[in-house]
């Protein structure tokens, strides 16, 4: 057996080098334990698409987010945790298996509230362990799943409503059925390539009875259409073998989206909301005969508003006459649908409602702003404060320390907040800087002014933070101008060269040199100006929906070269890439030079390179035309030629790209399904998955001073990867070395200490802070599994300072060191001295990190420096460290003395037991030492409020920790206290010496005389070990 292992080990060691040529620079190990952190925010959560309650355990609630995955609560909705991070984050429908509700849950991905910015799904998933592991069960091309119904008597039989593709035709639509728990599927109701299932319901008393609403719908980048001749309501009573249209009581003409629900307590009662050609016949219908006939009850606003976005009906599980309809504010009826009143105040846009299983006064509501709870039937609502599923469109950062993060959210305004804060980034740290749907938020480079915007540049604000003054500054049409077309997500950009310069794009590029007070157009219409894509007044289909969200043929991205103010790139939503080299006098459309790109593909992002004036990256995506392929290109010659930098590793269509500032081959790409990183200019891409969900990454910023990668995710808020600089050095050569330490800049030792509230925010999400420690980063070519591997910090002379826990992963490892050496050894006593927990901080300077790995030793030098922003002076630090050193040594000397005293007492006590003649000499020693000991250490009491009065040990340790825990020089009080303690310490030591010389010496003589073993002490060094 041992031989097996040895051979195995030998093989392991020899393998990497012999295959070194073939290592592609990609894979999970590239990132090792470089981890993302989430800072939310959850002060405004995000869109929730579906909520499901466990059928028998009211503590368990699942919430599906529009772009933020599945969240599970196991405490009745107080806390939610994400359980679906590895998979598509856009959730259509969740179903808990009624036969195995603790374990088996189905998730259909792809949201069905199909606004313009909606994300996509990639199939149906199942967990059989309550959400820890998920397995994809097919329907990969479904894009959106609107309903999952499980036969309670046979949970292998499952019906799934597939809404299908939003932006194109697809055969993957309709009702699907499995009889083997999802291994195989049969499409049992299909209409055509444009019509999918909007809602699906199963009779709770008879699983053969199902209702399905079919919806004809389509989006394009410039329009939306709801309704058509193929929409309809169907029913089966034979488990899906046959389906019949049940339209008795419906108006004639085309139908749109239909929401439906069966009253759980009276299944013959079915409610639907209907979108029709005639606004008078829109709204709520009720059937009390299982759908054979329908009565129109109500066309109130909440029942007819935006059916594509709101069509959920939820019925009280116990009372068929109480029902709630999602809507702008949501509405509840307590008279069987005759009249409705709005739900209480909460974030608007209500998508789903779930009643508590036992008490219908308790309900959960899913909104555009997160999950709300009501305890009184929807009259008042409170928000769940720990679901950070905000949908960012953009992110930017400033240069403050810590830097701030700015960005706008789907339906949740615009915000900025710190990248770190004492105790973590909390709700209170975020500041609102805009209403409505927020997009770009940009900090003026030199003034405390923030620009923000709301949908389609309806407002562009210039906000003076210090004076709390706001001015709207968006460009407006001048005489002779056509209507200005601003994208819903209007591009704005700052200049690297003039702090007051500001760009905005309509179909023209507008430039201001005075922070938006005056504007000049510096381009002609840069779009295709295709009039067929410009009439949004009829957009929406049966229900006109001209919100501005579909405005098309607009500029979408602006990039001023960081190397030359005259070079500006512009990309348009209708597929143009324009460049000027003379600040807008002339423009060249380079789109024809881009290979293998379908015409009119949306240019989502242009990034002007940091390294070469002619170089730029362009990212395109055609998802709104049904094309889900990722496209990213690079030019180095002002767009004359473009080369694709996408490899087959990239999953999901791409929207954003960022180039590193130091290594032009290090690129970051945001796609619909996460973050991808290349270290070789795009030959190989690796998905970053360390605490990074498969969430849409809409925009990327890279903080120049910290090298933090800051991601705007459309569903999980802001995610930060701290200091990506090690990735700059990754090459095949270092991946082949047994150990490679990455170079590190001198490491600043922060001298900060702040306060944070302890209570009152228990249920709030708290964003993680970055580590404030020194990072030691290295790459291992093999995981270290066998034999010892240790790491310690040494000073330049080789003295051991601190031992660390080294990471053993193959790939990148990051080890934190808190700048401290070891804590002092504290004297033994009855209680614990908490001062002894404190380890002193080392002085600035050079240190060696020494890794021993098997027989090999690897050394890396790091340098620590003081924080230049700190108020503490070098002289103060020296004074503090001197006193810390003295107190540290006194603590250990005291500990050693106490050890010697205890050893002596023990020896004397043992001696008396075996030799009564020794009592006289030994008892004196015991008495004298114990008397002294009581003044040196605590010998009674406990560690809390029954504590004894502190003695020398406690006083010494407390002073030591007080001085050590400060960064500044000791105060006058410290010095005076030190004098007092020192005197007592000296007295105690002198007393000990006196006893030792007299009474203990007599005892030693006695032992010698009687030929007994002498009193033996460990040496001081031995004792400290």
Partner 1 sequence: MKKIQTFLTAFLFISVLTLQAQTADEVLVNYFENTGGLEKWNALEGLKMSGVANAQGMEIPLEIIQLKNGSQAVIINFQGQTITQFAFDGEHMWSTNFMTMQPEKSDSEATANMKKAAKDFPSPFLNYKDKGYSVEFLGKETKEGTETFKIKLTQDPVLVNGIEEPNVSFHYFDSENFALIVSETQIKEGPAQGQTMTSTMSGYQEVDGLFFPFDMSMFGQGISIKTIELNPKVENSIFAFPGE
Which alpha helices (H) appear in 711-774, and where do they start and end?
732-736
Q: How far is the CB of 773 from partner 1 (least distance, A)?
A: 8
How many other CB atoms are there within 10 angstroms of residue 476's CB atom?
A: 11
The DSSP code sequence of 370-381 is EEEEESSTTSS-
d(CA 275, CA 261): 15
SS3 annotation, 745-762: CCEEECCCCCCCCCCCCC
- CA 1019 to each of CA 653, 715, 1000: distance values in angstroms, whole numbers, following the listed order: 68, 62, 18
- CA 911 to each of CA 900, 915, 995, 1002: distance values in angstroms, whole numbers, following the listed order: 16, 6, 18, 14
Q: Which residue, 66 or 814, has its beta carbon nearer to partner 1?
A: 814
d(CA 485, CA 507): 6
3-state class of 929 per DSSP? helix
Q: How far is the CB of 909 from partner 1 (least distance, A)?
A: 17
Q: How far is the CB of 261 from partner 1 (least distance, A)?
A: 30
How far from chain centre, in Å, is Cα 84? 13
Q: Which residue, 83 or 577, has its beta carbon nearer to partner 1?
A: 83
Interface with partner 1 (CB under 8 A): 1-2, 4-5, 8-9, 12, 27-29, 32, 57, 59, 72, 74-75, 79, 81, 83, 102-103, 129-130, 132-133, 780, 783-790, 802-805, 808-811, 816, 818, 820-823, 826-829, 831-833, 836-839, 895, 899, 942-944, 946
Q: How far is the CB of 946 from partner 1 (least distance, A)?
A: 7
Q: Which residue, 466 or 1021, has its beta carbon nearer to partner 1?
A: 1021
Q: Which residue, 83 or 591, has its beta carbon nearer to partner 1?
A: 83
Structure tokens at 62: 């699942």
Q: Please state at what angle helix 1001-1009 crosses helix 919-936, rounded to 10 degrees.
A: 150
Cis amide bond preceding 402, omega within 30: yes
Q: Which residue, 118 or 802, has its beta carbon nearer to partner 1?
A: 802
Q: How far is the CB of 80 from partner 1 (least distance, A)?
A: 8
Q: Which residue, 179 or 801, has its beta carbon nearer to partner 1?
A: 801
d(CA 861, CA 794): 10
The set of residues, in sequence order, having a beta carbon less than 8 Å from that of 859 and lying 6+ positions away, is 848, 849, 850, 851
Q: How far is the CB of 842 from partner 1 (least distance, A)?
A: 10
d(CA 764, CA 80): 11
d(CA 223, CA 485): 15
How many other CB atoms are there within 10 angstroms of residue 667's CB atom?
A: 24
Q: How far is the CB of 136 from partner 1 (least distance, A)?
A: 12
* Element (DSSP H or E) covering residue 887: helix 874-914
Q: Which residue, 792 or 915, has its beta carbon nearer to partner 1?
A: 792
Q: Are 222 and 245 in contact (CB under 8 A)?
A: no
Structure tokens at 875: 């002289």
For the chain, the first-to-last Cα distance in angstroms comes to 36
Q: How far is the CB of 728 from partner 1 (least distance, A)?
A: 19
DSSP structural state of residue 807? -
The set of residues, in sequence order, having a beta carbon less than 8 Å from that of 514 and lying 6+ positions away, is 500
The DSSP code sequence of 977-1013 is HHHHHHHHHHHHHHHHHHHIIIIIHHHHHHHHHTTPP
Q: How many residues are listed for the chain in this entry? A: 1025
Q: Which residue, 80 or 607, has its beta carbon nearer to partner 1?
A: 80
**Residue 145 bridge partners (DSSP):** 162
Q: How far is the CB of 561 from partner 1 (least distance, A)?
A: 38
Q: Which residue, 32 or 516, has its beta carbon nearer to partner 1?
A: 32
In 3D space, the residue among 308, 312, 345 whose CA is nearest the CA of residue 218 turns out to be 308
Q: Which residue, 626 or 950, has its beta carbon nearer to partner 1?
A: 950
Q: How far is the CB of 152 from partner 1 (least distance, A)?
A: 21
Angle at 626 between CA 624 and CA 629, to 5 degrees: 100
Q: How far is the CB of 832 from partner 1 (least distance, A)?
A: 6
Q: Which residue, 467 or 788, has its beta carbon nearer to partner 1?
A: 788
d(CA 131, CA 102): 9
d(CA 832, CA 954): 9
Q: How far is the CB of 781 from partner 1 (least distance, A)?
A: 9
Q: Which residue, 73 or 287, has its beta carbon nearer to partner 1?
A: 73
Q: Which residue, 348 or 854, has its beta carbon nearer to partner 1?
A: 854
Strand positions, DSSP E, 19-78: 36-40, 48-53, 61-65, 70-73
Q: How far is the CB of 71 from partner 1 (least distance, A)?
A: 10
Q: Which residue, 808 or 1010, has its beta carbon nearer to partner 1?
A: 808
Q: How far is the CB of 129 from partner 1 (least distance, A)?
A: 5
Q: Which residue, 133 or 859, has its beta carbon nearer to partner 1?
A: 133
Structure tokens at 1024: 């400290």
Q: How far is the CB of 178 from partner 1 (least distance, A)?
A: 21
3-state class of 570 per DSSP? strand
Q: Which residue, 56 or 917, has its beta carbon nearer to partner 1?
A: 56
The set of residues, in sequence order, having a beta carbon less than 8 Å from that of 706 and lying 6+ positions away, is 403, 722, 723
Q: Which residue, 728 or 783, has its beta carbon nearer to partner 1?
A: 783
The set of residues, in sequence order, having a beta carbon less than 8 Å from that of 523 and lying 6+ positions away, is 508, 509, 570, 578, 580, 584, 587
d(CA 729, CA 736): 13
Q: How far is the CB of 611 from partner 1 (least distance, A)?
A: 31
Q: Which residue, 655 or 784, has its beta carbon nearer to partner 1?
A: 784
The DSSP code sequence of 389-452 is --BBS--EE-SSSSPEEEEEBTTS-EEEEES--TTSB-GGG-EE---SSEEEEEE-SSSSEEEE
Q: How far is the CB of 774 from partner 1 (least distance, A)?
A: 11
Q: How far is the CB of 449 from partner 1 (least distance, A)?
A: 40
């Amino acid at each position: 057996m041992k031989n097996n292992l040895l051979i195995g080990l030998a093989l392991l060691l020899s393998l990497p080098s012999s295959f070194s040529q073939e290592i592609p620079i990609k894979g999970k190990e590239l990132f090792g334990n470089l981890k993302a952190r989430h800072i939310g925010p959850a002060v405004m959560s995000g869109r929730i698409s579906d909520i499901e309650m466990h059928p028998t355990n009211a503590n368990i609630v699942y919430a599906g987010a529009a772009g933020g995955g599945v969240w599970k609560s196991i405490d009745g909705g107080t806390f939610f945790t994400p359980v679906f991070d590895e998979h598509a984050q856009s959730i259509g429908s969740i179903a808990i298996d009624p036969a195995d509700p603790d374990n088996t849950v189905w998730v259909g991905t792809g949201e069905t509230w199909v606004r313009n910015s909606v994300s996509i799904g990639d199939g149906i998933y199942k967990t059989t362990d309550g959400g820890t592991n998920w397995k994809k069960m097919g329907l990969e091309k479904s894009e959106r799943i609107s309903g999952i119904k499980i036969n309670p008597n046979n949970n292998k039989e499952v019906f799934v409503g597939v809404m299908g593709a939003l932006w194109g035709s697809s055969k993957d639509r309709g009702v699907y059925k499995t009889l083997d728990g999802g291994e195989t599927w049969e499409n049992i109701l299909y209409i055509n390539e444009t019509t999918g299932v909007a809602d699906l319901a199963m009779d709770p008393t008879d699983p053969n009875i199902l209702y399905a609403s079919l919806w004809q719908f389509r989006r394009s980048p410039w329009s939306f259409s709801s309704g058509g001749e193929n929409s309809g309501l169907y029913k089966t009573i034979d488990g899906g073998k046959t389906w019949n249209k049940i339209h008795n009581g419906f108006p004639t003409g085309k139908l749109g989206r239909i929401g439906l629900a069966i009253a759980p307590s009276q299944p013959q009662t079915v409610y639907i909301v209907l979108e029709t050609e005639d606004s008078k016949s829109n709204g709520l219908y009720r059937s009390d005969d299982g759908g054979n006939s329908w009565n129109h009850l109500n066309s109130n606003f909440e029942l007819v508003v935006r059916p594509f976005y709101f069509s959920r009906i939820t019925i009280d599980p116990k009372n068929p006459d109480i029902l709630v309809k999602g809507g702008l504010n949501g509405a509840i009826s307590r008279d069987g649908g005759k009249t409705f009143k709005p739900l209480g105040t909460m974030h608007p846009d209500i998508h789903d409602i779930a009643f508590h299983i036992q008490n219908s006064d308790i309900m959960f509501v899913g909104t555009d702003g997160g999950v709300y709870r009501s305890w009184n039937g929807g009259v008042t609502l409170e928000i769940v404060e720990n679901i950070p599923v905000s949908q960012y469109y953009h992110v930017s950062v400033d240069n403050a320390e810590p830097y701030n993060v700015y960005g706008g959210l789907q339906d949740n305004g615009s915000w900025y907040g710190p990248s770190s804060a004492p105790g973590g980034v909390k709700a209170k740290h975020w500041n609102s800087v805009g209403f409505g749907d927020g997009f770009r938020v940009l900090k003026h480079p030199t003034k405390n002014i923030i620009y923000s915007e709301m949908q389609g540049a309806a407002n562009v604000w210039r906000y003076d933070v210090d004076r709390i003054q706001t001015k709207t500054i968006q460009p407006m049409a001048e005489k002779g101008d056509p209507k200005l077309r601003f994208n819903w997500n209007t591009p704005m950009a700052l200049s690297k060269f003039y702090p007051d310069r500001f760009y905005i794009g309509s179909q023209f590029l507008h430039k201001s040199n005075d922070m938006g007070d005056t504007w000049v157009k510096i381009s002609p219409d840069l779009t295709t100006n295709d009039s067929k894509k410009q009439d949004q007044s009829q957009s929406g289909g049966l229900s006109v929906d001209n919100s501005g969200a579909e405005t098309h043929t607009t500029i979408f991205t602006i990039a001023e070269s960081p190397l030359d103010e005259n070079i500006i790139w512009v990309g348009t939503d209708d597929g143009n890439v324009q460049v000027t080299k003379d600040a807008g006098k002339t423009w060249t459309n380079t789109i024809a030079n881009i290979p293998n790109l379908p015409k009119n593909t949306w240019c989502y992002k242009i990034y002007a390179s940091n390294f070469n004036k002619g170089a730029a990256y362009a990212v395109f995506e055609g998802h709104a035309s049904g094309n889900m392929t990722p496209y990213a290109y690079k030019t180095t010659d002002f767009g004359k030629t473009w080369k694709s930098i996408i490899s087959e590793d990239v999953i999901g269509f791409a929207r954003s790209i960022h180039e590193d500032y130091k290594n032009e081959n290090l690129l970051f790409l945001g796609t619909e399904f996460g973050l991808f990183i290349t270290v070789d200019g795009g030959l190989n891409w690796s998905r970053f998955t360390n605490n990074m969900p498969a969430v849409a990454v809409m925009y990327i910023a890279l903080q120049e001073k910290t090298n933090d990668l800051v991601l705007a995710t459309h569903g999980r808020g802001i995610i930060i990867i701290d200091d990506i600089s090690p990735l700059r050095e990754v090459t095949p050569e270092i991946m082949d070395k047994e150990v490679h330490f990455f170079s590190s800049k001198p490491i600043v030792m922060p001298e900060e200490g702040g306060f944070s509230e302890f209570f009152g925010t228990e249920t709030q999400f708290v964003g993680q802070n970055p580590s404030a420690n020194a990072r030691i980063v290295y790459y291992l070519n093999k995981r270290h599994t066998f034999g010892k591997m240790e790491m310690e910090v040494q000073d330049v002379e080789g003295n051991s300072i601190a031992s660390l826990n080294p990471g053993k992963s193959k790939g990148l490892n990051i080890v934190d060191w808190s700048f401290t050496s070891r804590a002092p050894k504290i004297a033994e006593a009855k209680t614990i001295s908490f001062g002894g927990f404190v380890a002193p901080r080392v002085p600035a300077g050079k240190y060696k990190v020494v890794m021993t790995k098997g027989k090999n030793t690897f050394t890396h030098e790091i340098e620590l420096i003081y924080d230049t922003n700190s108020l503490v002076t070098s002289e103060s630090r020296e004074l503090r460290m001197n006193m810390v050193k003295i107190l540290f040594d006194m603590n250990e000397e005291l500990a050693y003395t106490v050890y010697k005293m205890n050893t002596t007492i023990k020896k004397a006590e043992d001696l008396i037991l075996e030799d009564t003649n020794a009592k006289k000499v030994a008892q004196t020693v015991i008495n004298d030492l114990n008397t002294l000991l009581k003044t040196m250490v605590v010998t009674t009491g406990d560690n809390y409020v029954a504590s004894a009065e502190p003695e020398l040990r406690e006083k010494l340790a407390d002073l030591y920790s007080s001085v050590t825990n400060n960064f500044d020089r000791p105060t006058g009080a410290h010095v005076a206290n030190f004098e007092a303690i020192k005197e007592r310490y000296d007295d105690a030591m002198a007393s000990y010496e006196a006893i030792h010389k007299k009474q203990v010496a007599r005892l030693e003589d006695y032992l010698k005389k009687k030929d007994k073993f002498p009193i033996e002490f460990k040496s001081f060094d031995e004792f400290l070990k």
